[in-house]
Amino acid sequence: MNAEPPRHEHRMQTDEVLRIKLQMLRREHADLDESVRALQEGGRADMLTLQRLKRKKLMLKDAIARLEDQLTPDIIA
């Protein structure tokens, strides 16, 4: 007897995990954006720190785009 869930249930579980990860990445991206803005406005950040934060934001943006692509089904026009 096979206790494995049907394939569609597995896909639903995988999608839910991806959605949660996507939500976490979006939150982290927003937090970094807020940090960059605060440092720039306060004039307290050196350029190296700002570059690192902005690079991390860009990496997060790319990761978010990849997850969104995974969650969006391909539509054949």
Structure tokens at 52: 């690192």
Closest by Cα among 13, 6, 60, 11 to 32: 60
- Rounded to whole angstroms, how far apart are CA atoms 4 and 66? 28
**Helices 47-71 and 7-42, axial angle in degrees (round to 10):** 160
* Pair 71, 19: CB distance under 8 Å: yes
First-to-last CA distance in the chain? 41
pLDDT digits 0-9 by tens, 60-74? 999 999 999 998 877
Q: What is the mean pLDDT of each run of 10 residues along the chain (77 residues)?
A: 60 86 98 93 86 96 95 74
